[in-house]
Chain A
Amino acid sequence: MDWTQYLNPLMLGAWVTIELTIYSTVFGAILAFAAGIGKLAHNPLIKAISIGYIEIFRGTSLLVQLFWLYFALPVAGQAIGIDLRLPPVAAGVLALSLNIGAYGAEVVRGAIQSVSKEQYEAARALNFTPRQALWRVALPQAIPEMMPPFGNLAIQNLKDTALVSLISLSDLAFRAEQLRNFTQDSTTIYTLALLMYFGLALVLTAMMKLLERFVGRWRAGAR
Chain B
Amino acid sequence: MSDEPIIKFDKVVKRFGDLTVLNELDFEVKKGEKVSIIGPSGSGKSTVLRILMTLEDINGGVVTVGGEPLWHEKGPDGSLAPASETHLRKMRTQLGMVFQQFNLFPHMTVLRNITEAPVQVLGLSKQEAKQRGEELLELVGLADQAQKYPHQLSGGQQQRVGIARALAMRPNILLFDEPTSALDPELVGEVLNVIGKLAEEHDLTMLLVTHEMRFAREVSDRVCFFDQGRIREEGAPEDLFTDPNEERTREFLQAVLDN
A residues bordering B, Cβ < 8 Å?
A: 118-119, 121-122, 124-129, 132, 136-137, 140-141, 218-223
User: Are A125's CB and B151's CB within 8 A?
Assistant: no
Shortest CB–CB separation between residue B237 and chain A, in angstroms?
27
User: Are B107's CB and A220's CB within 8 A?
Assistant: yes
B residues bordering A, Cβ < 8 Å?
A: 53-55, 89, 92-93, 95-97, 99, 101, 103-107, 116-117, 120-121, 149-151, 165-166, 169
List of A residues within 8 angstroms of B107 by Cβ: 140-141, 218-220, 222
List of B residues within 8 angstroms of A128 by Cβ: 117, 120-121
User: Are A119's CB and B103's CB within 8 A?
Assistant: yes
List of B residues within 8 angstroms of A125 by Cβ: 53, 55, 92, 95-97, 99, 166
List of A residues within 8 angstroms of B169 by Cβ: 126-127
20 interchain pairs (CB within 8 A)? A118-B99, A118-B103, A121-B99, A122-B104, A122-B105, A125-B55, A125-B92, A125-B95, A126-B117, A127-B92, A127-B93, A136-B116, A137-B105, A141-B105, A141-B106, A141-B107, A219-B106, A221-B149, A223-B106, A223-B151
User: Are B53's CB and A220's CB within 8 A?
Assistant: no
User: Are B105's CB and A127's CB within 8 A?
Assistant: no
- Assess A222 versus B121: contact at CB under 8 Å? Given A121-B55, A127-B169, A136-B116: no
CA distance A113 to B82 in the complex (A): 28
Q: Which of B89, B99, B103, B149 contacts A127 (CB 8 A)?
A: B89
List of B residues within 8 angstroms of A223 by Cβ: 106, 151
Shortest CB–CB separation between residue A217 and chain B, in angstroms?
9
Shortest CB–CB separation between residue B164 and chain A, in angstroms?
12
User: Are A126's CB and B121's CB within 8 A?
Assistant: yes
User: Are A124's CB and B106's CB within 8 A?
Assistant: no
Shortest CB–CB separation between residue B119 and chain A, in angstroms?
10
User: Are B105's CB and A119's CB within 8 A?
Assistant: yes
List of A residues within 8 angstroms of B166 by Cβ: 125-126
Best-surrounded residue of B95, B106, B151, B169 (most CB of chain A within 10 A): B106
CA distance A218 to B106 in the complex (A): 9
A139 and chain B: residue at smallest CB distance:
B107
User: Are B106's CB and A222's CB within 8 A?
Assistant: yes
List of B residues within 8 angstroms of A118 by Cβ: 99, 101, 103
CA distance A126 to B117 in the complex (A): 6
Shortest CB–CB separation between residue B173 and chain A, in angstroms?
12
The 8 closest A-B pairs by CB, nearest first: A222-B106, A126-B117, A122-B103, A220-B149, A222-B151, A125-B97, A140-B107, A118-B103
User: Are B121's CB and A220's CB within 8 A?
Assistant: no
List of A residues within 8 angstroms of B116 by Cβ: 126, 136
